[in-house]
Structure 1
Amino acid sequence: MSVELKPMTLADVPVLTNLFQLYLYDMSKYMHWPVSAAGGFEFDENIVLAYFHEAGHHPYFIMQAGEIAGFALVRQYPYDATLIDMGQFFVLGKFTRLGLGQEALKECLKLHPGDWQVRVLPKNTGALAFWTKTISELTNATHRTCSGDYQGTEMTFLHFSSQNALASST
């Protein structure tokens, strides 16, 4: 499967904001967020805008055959500057289970070499299974998993090196 990461520009903020609603819809299964009276999910727009205005933030569309298939929001982790953090990652339903997510992650690792982490809600069993399997395969199981707090929410953290991932996938 041919996957491309397309860097977003400021002009892409409305598109990302629309896609973010789909991401929030998926996450609402675990977070139980209410739908607003306008029919969407309310969120702090600075979560999205940070990827266009703050250093160390890198927004990408995940593209497949010229079509937007999702997004990857990569950043320097604010609580540990030595870590690259997958801030948010989303693949549209019609593209899941095709290997696209793993290929998108590989592209992210090529663009941002270093020590990585992915954070997952423990109740989001589908995402946890995807990330655990994908990172295990890419790193020959040389990753570390732990639980911890992220802004008041219990998360599962997967830590790994892009060097290990890229070496085992070539």
Structure 2
Amino acid sequence: MEIRLRPVELIHKEILFNLYQFYLYDFSRISEEDLGFDGRFEIKLDHYWEDPRWNPFFIYYEERIIGFLIILFENYDTVPDPTHVIYDFLILSKYRRKGFGKLAAFQAFNLYQAKWKVVQIKTNEQAIHFWRDVVNQYTVGQYTEVFREDLNKYVQSFTNKTARTNCANGER
């Protein structure tokens, strides 16, 4: 099973916009966001190509896009060693629970040796379970988790600066 991440070029912005419709649809059960009058969820994406802190990637399997992820370099403009955050993450329903998401996350982590954070809203139990499992496997248990009451979110934090992880199987 080979997963590849490819940066999203500006010329593919519409494809990312279309994928965000699935993401926002899935997330609407938590966010309670409604469709716009045109039958689509509203999302602005231009900042992904205007601001170097944002890094969108398509997730490919067998030359097909099966999802996307966004990596944010938090405080990139003020801190020489920014924390990297998985900001948004989508695996299409057909490919869920088959290991594709985990492999994509491992590859994302392996792109940068950095401090990392992954954040989930308290009511998104599927995401909490998924990210706890992924981060635990990737770090071999070497991470911290806090619940931010002010944000109503769980945050897993770790660093991969001292070792490279094999993205194929998660071994260190």
Tell me the TM-score normalized by structure 1.
0.89
Q: What are the within-5 Å matches in structure 2 for residues 23-62 of structure 1? A: 23-43=23-43, 45=44, 48-62=45-59
Find the aligned partners of 1:49 and 1:148 in 2 and give their Cα distance.
Answer: 29
Corresponding residue SS for 2:46: helix
Give 1:169's aligned residue: 171
Find the aligned partners of 1:161 and 1:49 in 2 and give their Cα distance.
Answer: 29
Find the aligned partners of 1:38 and 1:3 in 2 and give their Cα distance.
Answer: 34
Query: What is the Cα deviation at residue 41 of structure 1?
Result: 1.6
Q: Which consecutive unaligned segments of at least 5 residues does structure 2 have?
A: none
Query: What is the Cα deviation at residue 153 of structure 1?
Result: 4.2
Corresponding residue SS for 1:76: strand
Find the aligned partners of 2:75 and 2:30 in 1 and give their Cα distance.
Answer: 24
Query: What is the Cα deviation at residue 93 of structure 1?
Result: 0.4
Find the aligned partners of 2:53 and 2:32 in 1 and give their Cα distance.
Answer: 30
Corresponding residue SS for 1:22: helix
Which region of structure 1 is more displaced relative to structure 2, 50-59 or 108-117?
50-59
Does the aligned pair in 1 maintain the 2:21–2:41 contact within 8 Å? yes
Cα deviation, 1:9-54, whole Å, max 9, x if unaligned, reads 10011110111111001110111111222222223x1xx2222111
Does the aligned pair in 1 maintain the 2:4–2:59 contact within 8 Å? yes
Give 2:3's aligned residue: 3
Following TM superposition, the consecutive aligned residue runs of length 4 or more in structure 1 with deviations greater than 6 angstroms are none
**One-letter amino acid of the structure 1 residue matched with residue 115 of structure 2:** D
Give 2:127's aligned residue: 127
Q: Which consecutive unaligned segments of at least 5 residues does structure 1 have?
A: none
Find the aligned partners of 1:158 and 1:22 in 2 and give their Cα distance.
Answer: 25
How many residue pairs get matched? 165
* Identical-residue share of aligned pairs (%): 24
Cα deviation, 1:111-143, whole Å, max 9, x if unaligned, reads 111110011111110111000011111111111
As a proportion of its length, which structure holds more helix? 1
Cα deviation, 1:49-97, whole Å, max 9, x if unaligned, reads 2221111321110000000010011121149843101111111001101
Query: What is the Cα deviation at residue 165 of structure 1?
Result: 7.1
Q: What are the within-5 Å matches in structure 2 for residues 7-156 of structure 1? A: 7-43=7-43, 45=44, 48-78=45-75, 81=79, 82-148=82-148, 153-156=151-154
**One-letter amino acid of the structure 2 residue matched with residue 161 of structure 1:** T
User: Alignment RMSD, CA only?
Assistant: 2.0
